[in-house]
A and B are shown apart, each in its own frame.
Chain A
């Protein structure tokens, strides 16, 4: 361990002794942070996993509190905020030891959604020294009249996993809450803890109050920990044939299993719940050694997840198949191997996942990447190169959402009468809102009051009203109650509870019967005889297995089978907000899970993949199968040239295909597909549908676009012209389901629609009025309304990824290379294979009806 280099105030002897007694030495960055913090500065600590980040963050408050005179009357000293309540609980556990060993009379408590009402009451009256909580709980505390008293003596806020929080609307809400905290306790300073990010200055600005127009913008001090030992990352060079498409990694399951066997404990990361289910299922098919392999994803029942976590910490598991639910910084025990199945999507994301292995800085983390198809091989290769080079591609800072601002304004009115000028000044001191105009703020205020419609017809029903003293006051206590019940910005996709209603007795299938449910399958079930503990019949009204996205269930009909919680279940029906299921007897689920990734491919990685493809000299690091495939592409068509957009056309099966390779991620490609098909329709090319992957887009049509373009009847430049982002886009947004979903989230966050009201929680299907209908009416009658603006902004980066599409179209201007081929090209195969697997898009609503109606006629004529 290096000697501490810079610190003005030495670590108090009590702490030095404690470190020494544990055989540790304080690290340089821990001391540097302490020095900065004790000098009254806000600090950002950027450190890799395992660098003692959390301890570093707590050293300043612990040192200060250890030296404090009056333990009883000092009030709340430090607020710790983490995005995961599990992290708050974990931190409390980790603080117990030093506090006990140093005999420090410091009270540390958690406050989360699980904290009892009586304890919350007591915490307001008699706060601990250090309160560990979440962004939503902070918003709730700040929306109460006690806030001014509770936070008056606050000295410090510690923000954990800052890199993760700031990229979301939760970050927006938190930034506004912190602005209020700065107003209540002007002397308070921040400590931000972050993984390595692309641009630390963004976070440094985020941590301190901004003054619009001030240049340079104020920033927190920066402390950077040295990087840990470089990770050993390898890519599985499979013995099997590499699939052309798909995301499951089934071909490599035996090889994954072998690696699990040789490691102490492995985390197997996948990108979606559905993939987690599939990989888990396949691992159990090959689990000859009855290894303790468990499953962990966000849809599983919380109790089940807690049991898996506890078993990990206790070292009882050999492997856990998980999604991003285990991405964040909880120490889950002795993980020595991280296996990432599928595409890593981003270099920083990969680095953070790898950091889950080996929480010790000086030892290398070991990671194995398992690409599930050929394009993913390229992506894995690019990600490994990027990780080795220490490149970062965390998403850029966001500007604060207007819907979140609407929610915040109402919360502030719940706490105390609001002076609009002061609240505006406070809001723009938060970095995400530093560029907020007064006009937008006033619109948000007016929205919070009465919906903010141009037609001022709801004044008399207002939630908040401006009184004669010029202050805005809450007009009805029920409005405050509704705010408290709906606080927060996390909109899960509408989830339905999955309830097991019948014991199925699927022969030979292990099941999760009985009360608690198993952590993992107990054993490979020889001869189909399941141990009795796991075959408990569950009666009607049986237990809840977890929750599942409503949109997934919408694809199913009663009787369809699907994978959930490691079992094959059959849908019996949907009753209110529950999906009733039974165990299925079948061996393979009928409905293949939607296996696409949740995260878009980062622009940075996409660029690296493009370069990799365009430079055959670098293919030596690729598996032979993949290099051969690319070489064949060069021969049959051409490699997508660097800096240009390759478009191929070819006939197949009586249809004509147009395949483009923008490498901009599925979301941007879907939007592009919608707009392209509209334009092709107008050009008389009779497009019929399209399918988008992370790398490419395939459109099929009845007319031969390739030959027409080759004859010069139209140009690809015309087809891909940026002006599609004008009227075509507007027309499409009118009816886009993705846009409507985006709008719905804004409507909920802003408080237009209530998710919960006293005594009842609603699910999406029970929300009494469809936000789609609201969207239609609002677009037509008040297109400039603040909620439509908020949704539009989200669409730029969210589900429609318009910003990325716009960049791509601009870059492609004058640089489109068209290849008119006689048959499908090697590079086109993967995306062509997605047809039929992926939802097909197109403004095909009347087509769907016509097809369904056509079948009726067939039935009628034939029958």
Chain B
């Protein structure tokens, strides 16, 4: 409530350094590489709702629209030269044909005037037909390597998705669980961006091979900005 008043940290809030490259962590869950005008998002999981509906679990059929609407806001805010989606952008192989025409139009409008790269994910080894953009297995930008699934062992400069990190944070005022970026300064795992994408606590074993015991910071998505919280201040589920 009273948090807006005083600045709490020395480095500007929301800055995240990966192998020397300075990136802006957006509270939406996107990462902006300002010097190159690149916007990274991970795990959009478009059409997850309709994928569940096939199994008669009728989740609201609005997740694609909701995800794209949030993406539109951050694109407008940062005006990137290119958008790079780090895989699992589509929930399954049938996502393309189930996607509504209005959502396709939204997507086309977002792609207009900029490059758009679909990095391959385990849910979407190849993007569906007719969604525009360019498919790639992974992408190198200077010191940065952009891919879906983080490689095991040290991998400086890697920015990946796949794990859907979330953090449970406790302070004197209470506890909450939010999506987060996880970084040790050498590499970074991005939060899932999709409206129906769940979160995995970054203290889970699945993250252990990536950070090899070094101190890790969770850059937790707040409402208006991203807050860096030391792993020692975070709780397991």
Contact A845 B222 (CB under 8 A): yes
Contact B174 A457 (CB under 8 A): no
* Among candidates B56, B59, B65, B220, residue contacting A849 with C-beta atoms closer than 8 Å: B220
Tell me the bound Cα distance from A74 to B62 in angstroms: 54
Which residue, of A476, A681, A853, A856, has the highest number of chain B Cβ atoms within 10 A? A853
* Among candidates B60, B63, B65, B224, residue contacting A846 with C-beta atoms closer than 8 Å: B224
Asked whether A714 is an interface residue with its Cβ less than 8 Å from the other chain, the reply is no
Tell me the bound Cα distance from A687 to B1 in angstroms: 7
Asked whether B108 is an interface residue with its Cβ less than 8 Å from the other chain, the reply is no
With a CB–CB cut-off of 8 A, which chain B residues contact A855?
171, 230, 233
With a CB–CB cut-off of 8 A, which chain A residues contact B173?
689, 840, 842, 844, 847-848, 851
Contact A765 B1 (CB under 8 A): no
* Among candidates B1, B62, B227, residue contacting A777 with C-beta atoms closer than 8 Å: B62
Instruction: Name the residue on B nearest A555 (C-beta).
Output: B175
Contact A840 B174 (CB under 8 A): yes
- Contacts A458-B50, A782-B60 known; A777 to B235 CB distance under 8 Å? no
With a CB–CB cut-off of 8 A, which chain B residues contact A451?
53, 58-61
Contact with B along A737-770 (1 / 0, CB 8 A): 0000000000000001110000000000100111
Contact with A along B9-39 (1 / 0, CB 8 A): 1100000000000000000000000000000
Contact A852 B224 (CB under 8 A): no
Tell me the bound Cα distance from A618 to B69 in angstroms: 63
Contact with A along B191-211 (1 / 0, CB 8 A): 000011110000000000000
Instruction: Name the residue on A nearest B224 (C-beta).
Output: A846
Contact A781 B66 (CB under 8 A): yes
Tell me the bound Cα distance from A482 to B52 in angstroms: 14
With a CB–CB cut-off of 8 A, which chain A residues contact B9?
853-854, 856-857
How many residues of chain B are within 8 Å of chain A by beta carbon?
Answer: 52
**Considering the complex, which residues of chain B in the window 94-110 have a beta carbon less than 8 Å from any beta carbon of chain A?**
98, 100
Asked whether B237 is an interface residue with its Cβ less than 8 Å from the other chain, the reply is yes
With a CB–CB cut-off of 8 A, which chain B residues contact A457?
50, 53, 61, 98, 100
Tell me the bound Cα distance from A557 to B237 in angstroms: 9
Contact B3 A850 (CB under 8 A): yes
Contact B60 A778 (CB under 8 A): yes
Tell me the bound Cα distance from A457 to B52 in angstroms: 12
* Among candidates A452, A482, A554, A785, residue contacting B175 with C-beta atoms closer than 8 Å: A554
Asked whether A70 is an interface residue with its Cβ less than 8 Å from the other chain, the reply is no
**Taking the nearest CB of chain B, how far is it from the CB of A26, in angstroms?**
54
- Contacts A777-B196, A856-B230 known; A461 to B1 CB distance under 8 Å? no
Which residue, of B8, B50, B65, B98, has the highest number of chain A Cβ atoms within 10 A? B8
Instruction: Name the residue on A nearest B232 (C-beta).
Output: A859
Contact B1 A574 (CB under 8 A): no
**Considering the complex, which residues of chain B in the window 31-75 have a beta carbon less than 8 Å from any beta carbon of chain A?**
48, 50, 52-63, 65-66
With a CB–CB cut-off of 8 A, which chain B residues contact A849?
3, 169, 171, 176, 178, 220, 222, 227, 229
Asked whether A212 is an interface residue with its Cβ less than 8 Å from the other chain, the reply is no
Tell me the number of A-to-B contacts counted with CB atoms below 8 Å. Answer: 169
Contact A461 B53 (CB under 8 A): yes
Instruction: Name the residue on B nearest A754 (C-beta).
Output: B57
Tell me the bound Cα distance from A459 to B153 in angstroms: 47
**Taking the nearest CB of chain A, how far is it from the CB of B198, in angstroms?**
6
Contact A848 B175 (CB under 8 A): yes
With a CB–CB cut-off of 8 A, which chain A residues contact B170?
848, 852
With a CB–CB cut-off of 8 A, which chain A residues contact B198?
768-770, 773
**Taking the nearest CB of chain B, how far is it from the CB of A289, in angstroms?**
43
Contact B196 A853 (CB under 8 A): no
Contact B52 A677 (CB under 8 A): no
Asked whether A588 is an interface residue with its Cβ less than 8 Å from the other chain, the reply is no
Contact with A along B210-228 (1 / 0, CB 8 A): 0000000100101111011
Asked whether A125 is an interface residue with its Cβ less than 8 Å from the other chain, the reply is no
- Contacts A770-B198, A839-B174, A852-B233 known; A479 to B2 CB distance under 8 Å? no
Contact A479 B50 (CB under 8 A): no
Instruction: Name the residue on B nearest A557 (C-beta).
Output: B235
Tell me the bound Cα distance from A447 to B56 in angstroms: 11
Asked whether B141 is an interface residue with its Cβ less than 8 Å from the other chain, the reply is no
Tell me the bound Cα distance from A457 to B230 in angstroms: 44
With a CB–CB cut-off of 8 A, which chain B residues contact A36?
none
**Taking the nearest CB of chain B, how far is it from the CB of A845, in angstroms?**
6
With a CB–CB cut-off of 8 A, which chain A residues contact B62?
453, 455, 777-778, 780-782
**Taking the nearest CB of chain A, how far is it from the CB of B156, in angstroms?**
22
**Considering the complex, which residues of chain A in the window 120-163 have a beta carbon less than 8 Å from any beta carbon of chain B?**
none
With a CB–CB cut-off of 8 A, which chain A residues contact B217?
856
Asked whether A688 is an interface residue with its Cβ less than 8 Å from the other chain, the reply is yes
* Among candidates A463, A765, A844, A856, residue contacting B233 with C-beta atoms closer than 8 Å: A856
Asked whether B140 is an interface residue with its Cβ less than 8 Å from the other chain, the reply is no
**Considering the complex, which residues of chain A in the window 832-846 have a beta carbon less than 8 Å from any beta carbon of chain B?**
839-840, 842-846
- Contacts A754-B57, A839-B174, A847-B1 known; A852 to B223 CB distance under 8 Å? no
Which residue, of B1, B3, B217, B228, has the highest number of chain A Cβ atoms within 10 A? B1
Contact B8 A848 (CB under 8 A): no
Contact with B along A436-469 (1 / 0, CB 8 A): 0000000000010011110101100111000000
Which residue, of B65, B98, B173, B220, has the highest number of chain A Cβ atoms within 10 A? B173
With a CB–CB cut-off of 8 A, which chain A residues contact B235?
557
Instruction: Name the residue on B nearest A750 (C-beta).
Output: B58
Asked whether A227 is an interface residue with its Cβ less than 8 Å from the other chain, the reply is no
Tell me the bound Cα distance from A677 to B1 in angstroms: 9
Instruction: Name the residue on B nearest A841 (C-beta).
Output: B174
* Among candidates A447, A461, A848, residue contacting B169 with C-beta atoms closer than 8 Å: A848
With a CB–CB cut-off of 8 A, which chain A residues contact B52?
769
With a CB–CB cut-off of 8 A, which chain A residues contact B10?
857
**Taking the nearest CB of chain A, how far is it from the CB of B76, in angstroms?**
18
Tell me the bound Cα distance from A852 to B10 in angstroms: 15
Tell me the bound Cα distance from A285 to B11 in angstroms: 55
Contact A688 B66 (CB under 8 A): no
Asked whether B77 is an interface residue with its Cβ less than 8 Å from the other chain, the reply is no
With a CB–CB cut-off of 8 A, which chain B residues contact A687?
1
* Among candidates A482, A686, A702, A848, residue contacting B171 with C-beta atoms closer than 8 Å: A848
Asked whether A774 is an interface residue with its Cβ less than 8 Å from the other chain, the reply is yes
**Taking the nearest CB of chain B, how far is it from the CB of A772, in angstroms?**
10
* Among candidates A461, A479, A777, A844, residue contacting B54 with C-beta atoms closer than 8 Å: A461
Contact A776 B195 (CB under 8 A): yes
**Considering the complex, which residues of chain B in the window 77-113 have a beta carbon less than 8 Å from any beta carbon of chain A?**
98, 100
**Considering the complex, which residues of chain A in the window 808-863 have a beta carbon less than 8 Å from any beta carbon of chain B?**
839-840, 842-857, 859
**Taking the nearest CB of chain B, how far is it from the CB of A345, in angstroms?**
26
Asked whether A478 is an interface residue with its Cβ less than 8 Å from the other chain, the reply is yes
Instruction: Name the residue on B nearest A558 (C-beta).
Output: B236
Which residue, of B56, B170, B224, B233, has the highest number of chain A Cβ atoms within 10 A? B56
Contact B56 A859 (CB under 8 A): no
Contact A859 B230 (CB under 8 A): yes
With a CB–CB cut-off of 8 A, which chain B residues contact A785?
60
Contact A842 B1 (CB under 8 A): yes
With a CB–CB cut-off of 8 A, which chain B residues contact A770?
198
Asked whether A573 is an interface residue with its Cβ less than 8 Å from the other chain, the reply is yes
Contact A853 B195 (CB under 8 A): no
* Among candidates A780, A847, A853, residue contacting B2 with C-beta atoms closer than 8 Å: A847
With a CB–CB cut-off of 8 A, which chain B residues contact A768?
198
Contact B227 A850 (CB under 8 A): yes
Instruction: Name the residue on A nearest B66 (C-beta).
Output: A777
**Taking the nearest CB of chain A, how far is it from the CB of B231, in angstroms?**
10
Tell me the bound Cα distance from A840 to B10 in angstroms: 29
Contact B196 A769 (CB under 8 A): yes
**Taking the nearest CB of chain A, how far is it from the CB of B80, in angstroms?**
24
With a CB–CB cut-off of 8 A, which chain B residues contact A455?
61-62, 100
With a CB–CB cut-off of 8 A, which chain B residues contact A856?
9, 217, 228-230, 233
Given contacts A462-B56, A752-B59, 13 further A-B contacts (CB under 8 A): A447-B58, A453-B61, A457-B53, A478-B56, A573-B236, A769-B52, A845-B222, A846-B225, A847-B1, A849-B3, A849-B220, A850-B8, A854-B8
Sample 8 A-B pairs with CB under 8 A, ordered by A number: A677-B1, A686-B1, A688-B1, A769-B48, A777-B66, A777-B196, A845-B223, A853-B8
- 3 shortest interchain CB distances as A-B pairs: A451-B58, A851-B171, A781-B62
